[in-house]
Amino acid sequence: MPSVLIVDDASFMRMMIKDILSKNEFVIAGEASNGEEAVTMYKDLQPDLVMMDITMPEKDGIAALKEIKNNDPAAQIIMCSAMGQQSMVIDAIQAGARDFIVKPFQADRVMDAINKVLG
């Protein structure tokens, strides 16, 4: 079963993603509330996939994405963005994100992105 690290500064968003993933038999490797935690936890947990918010305190999702990809070029990361963050989404894809999903999440869109990335 694939393991997923969920990164979002809003705990209810983490809960929503966790709910979708658990129903689809994914293992939740861990939860981080900012990019700094995400980088550390990625190294410790080596999850199959990271679901990462773009806008967070301490270190945003794009900075964390770049750092994780530097340490592990094979890292599979899906970015989560609010509506209207198109330029950030483009930055994220250029920095190596595999896909992105837009909030509010639709379970089927989340699973489509994950299945596409994990193939």
Mean pLDDT in residue range 2-11: 96
The CATH number covering residue 69 comes to: 3.40.50.2300
Question: Quick one: tokens of 58?
Answer: 């301490």
**Domain range for residue 52?**
3-111
Residue 117 included in any domain: no
Residue 119 included in any domain: no
Residue 118 included in any domain: no
pLDDT of 49 reads: 98
Q: What is the pLDDT of residues 39-95, one digit of tens each?
A: 999 999 999 999 999 999 899 999 999 999 999 999 999 999 887 778 888 999 999
pLDDT of 113 reads: 95
Residue 22 included in any domain: yes
The number of domains in the chain is 1
Residue 66 included in any domain: yes
Q: What is the pLDDT of residues 57-73, one digit of tens each?
A: 899 999 999 999 999 99
